Amino acid sequence: MGKTFAVIGDPINHSLSPNIHSAAFRELDLDSSYIAYRIPKGELEEGIEGLKKIKIDGFNITIPHKIEMMKYLDKTDESCSLIGAVNTVSNKDGILKGYNTDMDGFLEPFKKKELNITGTKVLLIGAGGAARAIVAGFAKAKAKSITIANRTLEKANNLSEFAKKLGLDANAIRIDDVKDTAKNYDIIVNATSVGLKNEQSVISLEGIDEKTVVYDIVYMPMNTDFIKKAKEKNAIVIYGYEMLLGQAVRAFEIWHNIEAPYNAMKKALLGGF
Ligand code: ATR
């Protein structure tokens, strides 16, 4: 019998996940389907009951449920319990197991492009849920140090403590205090939502060069102001869609236990722009 998958969240109508996974099913001739299912904030428990009733085989979770969903899991894998947020769930006979593929999804483009993380100095802008998975990723890949810059200093401080627990040399600053220091870092990541509405980058990239890696996790639009500024400096650019693709590939492999058709999924994703 065909398998059924979903992505849950709110808003959900612009999600690219159904396209990406459906393309993979077509490519591999799998008799599976993937739907977008809107579950508003406060209705997660009933929503999950509904998914169990239709015997969903697995689902992705996006804003605003990634943290609350932890309550409804029967099991968690290592990344999920470490990060404290879940974006992928498998359902085996009613037993829900949670994973966090954002961390490996974030790291995937570095691997693909053979870019080194070990021993690097990182500037991370943002201290929300996505930033937490990214910190865990940098710890896993053994970066040397991480400076966390956030609008709200308290959240940057909390995330900095988390980074230290994972063995990173970490400190926290306000975004406004980044000023002209971007050039002191090997890797600069925007993990805020700034750019989604075509806003200007919250930091200056003055002084960076062609060796600096600049990574924006905002994927819509593809060319954010942050990415444009990085390109002006000939920096090495990683687009938000690459992380989106990376997490989708991992989720696919968790659910289907076979290698994901990366190129077909990438093509479907880029077709969505
Ligand atoms: P996500 O799960 O996508 O990380 P989140 O947890 O709500 O979402 O985090 C959003 C991040 O974007 C936070 O770091 C937030 O900064 P605050 O902690 O100060 O709220 C940041 N952010 C959102 N809008 C911003 C803006 N206009 N300027 C600067 N930072 C902003």
Q: List, for residues 225-234, the tens digit of each pLDDT value.
A: 999 999 999 9
Ligand 1 center to 127 CA (angstroms): 7
Q: How many structural domains are present in the chain? A: 2
Output the pLDDT for position 71: 97
Give the residue, by CA position, lying nearest to ligand 1 atom 5: 128
How does pLDDT run across 143-177, given as a tens digit for each residue?
A: 999 999 999 999 999 999 999 999 999 999 999 99
How does pLDDT run across 82-106, given as a tens digit for each residue?
A: 999 999 999 999 999 999 999 999 9
Give the residue, by CA position, lying nearest to ligand 1 atom 16: 151
- Same domain for 138 and 213: yes
- Same domain for 229 and 131: yes
Output the pLDDT for position 36: 97
DSSP H helical segments within the chain, as ranges? 17-28, 44-53, 78-83, 102-112, 129-140, 153-165, 225-232, 240-256, 262-271
Q: Ligand 1 pocket, 130 CB below 6 A?
A: yes
For the cut 80, the answer to whether the pLDDT of residue 7 exceeds it is yes
Please choose from 86, 106, 151, 217 the residue to mutate so as to test ligand 1's pocket, defined by most ligand atoms within 8 A of CB: 151
CA distance 234 to 216: 15
Ligand 1 center to 155 CA (angstroms): 10
Residue 93 φ/ψ region, left for φ over 0, alpha for ψ in the -120 to 50 degree band, beta for the rest: left
- Same domain for 226 and 116: yes
Task: Average the pLDDT over 265-272 and give the result.
Answer: 93
For residue 175, the domain's CATH number is 3.40.50.720
For the cut 90, the answer to whether the pLDDT of residue 273 exceeds it is no
- Same domain for 222 and 254: no
Ligand 1 center to 157 CA (angstroms): 14
Q: How many helices (H) and strands (E) does the chain have?
A: 9, 12
- Same domain for 224 and 127: yes
How does pLDDT run across 202-224, given as a tens digit for each residue?
A: 999 999 999 999 999 999 999 99
How does pLDDT run across 13-41, given as a tens digit for each residue?
A: 989 999 999 999 999 999 999 999 999 99
- Same domain for 173 and 91: no
* pLDDT-derived band at 1, boundaries 50, 70, 90: confident
- Active-site entry in 41, 53, 55, 66: 66
Q: Ligand 1 pocket, 109 CB below 6 A?
A: no
Output the pLDDT for position 49: 97
- Same domain for 94 and 69: yes
Output the pLDDT for position 129: 86
CA distance 113 to 245: 14
Q: Ligand 1 pocket, 248 CB below 6 A?
A: no
Q: Ligand 1 pocket, 126 CB below 6 A?
A: yes
Rg (CA), the chain: 18
Ligand 1 center to 58 CA (angstroms): 28
- Same domain for 256 and 234: no
Ligand 1 center to 91 CA (angstroms): 31
Structural domain boundaries enclosing 96: 3-100+243-271
Give the pTM.
0.94
Percentage with pLDDT > 90 across the chain: 97
Q: CA 185 → CA 124, 141, 174, 211, 214, distances in Å?
A: 10, 16, 16, 10, 10
- Same domain for 124 and 67: no
- Same domain for 118 and 94: no
Atom of ligand 1 nearest to the CA of 125: 14
Active site residue 55: no
For residue 82, the domain's CATH number is 3.40.50.10860
Q: Ligand 1 pocket, 193 CB below 6 A?
A: yes
- Same domain for 55 and 164: no
- Same domain for 231 and 249: no
Give the residue, by CA position, lying nearest to ligand 1 atom 30: 151
